[in-house]
Amino acid sequence: MAEIVGAITTSHVPAIGKAIFQQLQDEPYWKPFFDGYVNARSWLRDVRPDTVVVLYNDHGLNFFLDKMPAFAVGAAPRYTHADEGWGIPTIPPFTGDQDLSWHLIQQLTDAEFDLTTCQEMLVDHAFTLPMALLWPEQDWPVQVVPVCINTVQFPVPSARRCWKLGEAIGQAVRAWDSDKRVLILGTGGLSHQLEGERAGFINKPFDLAFMDSLTADPLWATQWNSAELVEKAGTQGIELLMWLAARGALGEGARELHRNYHIPISNTAAGLMVMAPAA
């Protein structure tokens, strides 16, 4: 059976792509952020995943407001990035793990999740930038399975529903008849709001409490509905749902191996966690 080697959760703001392209990693503004990924990349070299299940939210490159599924799973042989209008250079395409994609689609459907199945799919910065942070050479030594969660068009799936999705993904991966090693990657957040009277909103105490909860009390964030989470984390901070789903995939227990938290990056609280299943 397949093995889940761990989970990484990370921010994905478009400005990261410009910083990478302009080679600003050692600039004082960016260095505390990029330095956080050194240990994560070292850990990846040790655990050597074969496939990455990427939990992320699309920002209009593949889905738009007129058609926004709650959950979508990619089943394509190849995933490409296109111009999003942010000035981010496009990066090399990714190879899909179609066997795992179809296994997940079947297992999640059996678990009563209503999915959109995408046999062709573009992936945006929420997918590409975390991958580039973890594999900066962009040679992609892994296959991928995109899992898109709507955090853009309200109503969005509840925190509890996303936790259950993560649990179901973890169960499906562990039941997959394969000897592959699988990494779960959850992207987005942490607290930020890009519009309205609270533009620039960051809630550091909540962010740190949420990060602590992922190992100490992982259902902590499910006590609030979506509106309450937006109040605490900002309109775009609801992207923490991907972190929650990624943690759910690890099962009952998880160990924190590394974290980084830095503010601000492009008006966003930038977080990173590396977690392993409980021993």
- The catalytic residues are 125, 192
Distance CA 272, CA 155 (A): 27
* C-alpha closest to that of 209 among 242, 231, 239, 233: 233
Q: Dihedrals φ, ψ of 51, to 5°? A: -135, 145
- Say how many CA atoms lie within 13 Å of 272 toward its Cβ: 23
The SS3 call for residue 50 is: coil
Q: At a CB cut-off of 8 Å and minimum separation 6, what does 277 contact?
A: 4, 6, 250, 251, 253, 254, 255
Distances, alpha carbon 215 to alpha carbons 195, 246, 257, 275, in Å: 32, 12, 10, 8
Burial code (b: 16+ CB inside 10 Å, e: under 16) for 38-77 equals eebeebbeeeebbbbbbbbbbbebbbeeeebbbbbbbbbe
Distances, alpha carbon 54 to alpha carbons 203, 208, 229, 257, in Å: 25, 23, 22, 19
Cα 277 to chain centroid distance, Å, stands at 17
Q: At CB < 8 A and 24+ separation, what contacts does 22-25 make? A: none
C-alpha distance across the termini of the chain, in Å: 18
